Structure 1
Amino acid sequence: MKKIVFAILSLSLVSCAVEGLESTIGDNSNNPNNSNNSTTFTDALPLNTGNYWTYDVVGATNTRDSLYIFGNETVGAHTYKKFKNRNNIATGFYCTSLNNNNVRKEAGKLLLTGNLSVLQGITLPTGVDLSVTDFIIFKESATNGEILSEKTGTFQQTISSLPITIEYRLRSIGGESFASYTSPNNDVYPNVKSTKIVVNLKITSTQTVAGFPITLNILPQQDVVVSTQYLSKNIGIVYTKTNTNFSLNATIAAQIGLPVTNSQVQEEFLDTYNVN
């Protein structure tokens, strides 16, 4: 049981924040330059082969990621840019989400095609299908709170004779616009727009007791991962903040030796980059 819960909560899809996808993550409401006015992007993420970005990752442990564009890859009728991390190793949410995946632009949107089911060497249980095709991860004209893309699924497993049903929902959501944005490390970037990735989970177990079906909420439906990325025009992602939170059924948590609640924060700060 412990294995299944932690494997599912590692669904950061994309997440390295569980080293362990609420809406206040990356909140910059105290930034005097905060603005809800639309920001015009000529190039939110420059997609040219050879472009690279390095990030300082701050969380449970402090690490460093290097992300670069490897070249072109054709999938179906479209040509994408293939992203890779140095030595295929990433620790941050953002860099992990792009590692070995493909991105293309269309009509002011960034579209991701690939598989988000393997994170930091952890393979999610069979049934969690996080393969995506042209999943919108950014939209220039998105309004704050607008749902850009969504994928849902449900599957069942039996762990130690306990039947488990897992429901998951992956969403990308439009964020705020800033004429000037000051990152928490005090780096200042012009023309910034945020976007969010949210993973919502629900885990239940239905058993028959005295001839009657009883459903137990192991993990009540909740957003367990919310990651906010900030994109600066002609640079790309300059800052990412990812919160991982969950609250388990107290009785179940005690039985399997897990904390009732858990909360972790991870930040990724842009350090060096080269774009053309």
Structure 2
Amino acid sequence: MRCIYPIATLFFIAFYCSCSSNESISEELLAEIGSENYFPLEKNNHWTYNIEAETSAKDSVWVEKDSLIEGEIYYQAKGNAQKKGFFTNLISSSLVAKSKSKLFLDGNISQLIPGLEIPVHNLTLLDTKSPLGGELYTNSGISTYEYNKYILHIEYTVSTKTEAVLNDYTLFDDTYNNVIKTSLTVNIKGILTTDVDGYELTIPVIKDQDAIISTQYFAPGIGLIYNEAAIAYQLSNLDQLEGKLPFPTEYSEVITQSIEDFSILN
């Protein structure tokens, strides 16, 4: 497969990537999609991605081993030490499994506020039988992060859905057929609690906001070929704090990863 060179800007992506989607999916196409493997998980399968964000990088991820857990075969993926891509961070810190038409994982979303982990269980990344626009997964919970006398409580909702089935998807010089496009969204809001002279002070510091919006493109026989993740949050009411927090109070970045090379065992 030809190498795909790093992406310089979002305009560059828009100019060189084209796709066409079906408003409805025929029975023939559904049958064809259902017979394809959209994320080969055999041991030693390997993918390399070009990463574009504030700095360019290259990520590698591979299937290291498999384990039988409660009757399901889970696969452990590993990645290079300094992973930058959103998807490579997610997949290499999780156990991944396939069940019938679904690809799902158990793990944590950690590429948001440093030190904060959002747990996910049976997070469905794609389902070849899901109707166009169908919701794949949704789950809500609360995660906390403690620093000195401050406790940050994050209320989150993680959801995924099928966005489109693309007959033809062209990424630079390579064209892929029957690509499934899915999305993953992490919505958050949060409060900060602290003790002031023996009294608990509660400060609403994060308004309801979509902090992560990630779009995945899966090609049959290959796996993920492209991912774009917009990650952003902003804290407010910080004038009520007596000290500084150990992480940025606002953050915004778009991270893209495009496949450069892969090795899939048959």
Given candidates 187, 191, 201, the residue that maps to 2:178 is 191
> How much does 1:142 deviate?
2.1
Compared CA separation, residues 32 and 138, structure 1 to 2 (3 A): closer
Task: Please say if residues 152 and 190 of structure 2, whose CA atoms lie closer than 8 Å, have aligned partners that are also in contact.
Answer: yes
1:55-95: CA deviation from partner (whole Å, max 9, x where unpaired): 00110111111111123212222112221114x54221111
- Tell me the CA shift for residue 226 of structure 1: 0.9
Counterpart in the other structure of 1:165:
153
* CA distance in 2 between partners of 1:156 and 1:66 (Å): 30
Evaluate the alpha carbon distance shift between residue 262 and residue 103 of structure 1 in structure 2; reply closer, same or farther with a 3 A threshold: closer
Q: Is the 8 A contact 1:175 1:196 kept in 2?
A: yes
Which residue does 1:55 correspond to in 2? 49
Distance 1:123 1:201 in 2: 15
- From the superposition, tell whether residues 253 and 228 of structure 1 become closer, same or farther in structure 2 (CA, over 3 Å): farther
Q: 1:237 offset after TM fit, Å?
A: 0.5
Contact persistence 2:93–2:108 (CA under 8 A) = no
Q: Deviation per CA, 1:147-166, whole angstroms, max 9, x where unpaired? A: 21223212566656456432
Does residue 181 of structure 1 match 2:181? no
| Equivalent in 80, 90, 94 of residue 83 of structure 2 | 90
Is 1:240 the counterpart of 2:227? The answer is yes
RMSD of Structure 2 on Structure 1 (CA): 3.4
Secondary structure, counterpart of 1:33 in structure 2: strand
Size of the aligned set, in residue pairs, is 239
Structure 1 unaligned regions, length at least 5: 1-25
- Percent identity, aligned pairs only, is 22
Question: Gaps spanning 5+ residues in structure 2: where?
Answer: 1-12
1:103 aligns with 2:89: no
8 Å contact 1:67–1:85 — kept in the other structure? yes
Alignment CA distance shift 1:198-1:186 (3 Å)? farther
Amino acid at match of 2:219: S
Q: Deviations over 1:1-39 (max 9, x none)?
A: xxxxxxxxxxxxxxxxxxxxxxxxx999x9452333435
Partner residue of 2:69 out of 75, 87, 94:
75
Normalising by structure 1, we get a TM-score of 0.73
1:36–1:178 CA contact under 8 A, matched in 2:
no
Please give the secondary structure, in 2, of the residue aligned with 1:95.
helix
AA at the equivalent of 1:71: K
- Label 1:93 to 1:179 Cα distance change in 2 as closer, same or farther (>3 A): same
In structure 1, give the amino acid aligned to 2:68. Answer: T
Instruction: Tell me the TM-score normalised to structure 2 length.
Output: 0.75
User: What is the rounded CA distance, in whole Å, between the counterparts of 1:104 and 1:157 in structure 2?
Assistant: 29
Deviation beyond 6 Å, 4+ runs, structure 1 = 206-209, 257-260
